[in-house]
Amino acid sequence: MALSRARRRVRRSPGGVQAADASLNDAFVAALLGAFRLYHEKLGSPIATMPMAIPISVRREGDAAGGNRIAGARFAGPVGIADAKKRMQAIGALVGSIRKEPGLEGMSVLAPALARLPAALLTAVAGGMTKSNDLQASNVPGLREELYLAGARIERVYGFGPLPGCAAMITLNTHGDTCCIGANIDPAAVTETELFAECLERGFAEVLALHPSSAPPVRRA
């Protein structure tokens, strides 16, 4: 499933992420957790938190340019906070505290050794680290300029990340002034996929409603 929404309206909105003292990523994760809150409520099983993971940049001043400098962060997502603004602020505080953890970059130290493991063993290790996550979310910056393919202008770019043992992998990819969200869902875990798609729309609508003039999210598939 895929959603689109205008990024510019969210970033510049005085009633949106700026008023909540939050980042675009905070708004993205808040919308996803809002969707899961609505989904669980519809199923009659409300939850307060859920295990999730996101990549966090650990690039520091003086690091060599190029490549990725990220670490995986796992935490209990505050699903139960119904107020979108408070949910964004709670996520920002959580991520801020995780950035200060001294062991955040531990996996990057182990990575060279893990890369030497046999493929089957490496797969088992990686799967064991992610299978307990209900959600993995990733925010991927895209290109600002217009792109063309065979003479046709590309209007949307969606990223559909693999499911490394988690129930849902949801990716935000920015393209121009638009945020494109692709959701890869394990139907064995999220059994009511059509209901979840509706809740995903409503989750983003909750965040966009912080700025009343924002365009609503548009479901593409």
Structure tokens at 170: 């949801």
Count Cα atoms within 13 angstroms, Cβ side, for 150: 0
For the cut 90, the answer to whether the pLDDT of residue 199 exceeds it is: yes
The DSSP output letter for 81 is: -
Q: What is the pLDDT of residue 110?
A: 46
Where do the domains of the chain lie, and which CATH numbers do they carry?
A: 2-219 (3.30.559.30)
For residues 4 and 103, the model is more confident at 4
Q: Supply the mean pLDDT for the chain.
A: 80
For residues 100 and 42, the model is more confident at 42
What's the distance, Cα to Cα, between the start and end of the chain in Å? 5
Summarised one tens digit per residue, pLDDT across range 116-144 is 556 554 445 455 556 678 999 999 888 88
Structure tokens at 220: 């593409």
Q: What is the pLDDT of residue 107?
A: 47
Please give the order of strands across the beta sheet that includes 168-175.
Answer: 70-77, 50-57, 135-140, 168-175, 178-185, 2-6, 218-219
139-143, 165-169, 212-216: the lowest-pLDDT one: 212-216
For the cut 80, the answer to whether the pLDDT of residue 91 exceeds it is: yes
Do the beta carbons of residue 69 and residue 59 sit within 8 Å? yes
Do the beta carbons of residue 22 and residue 88 sit within 8 Å? yes
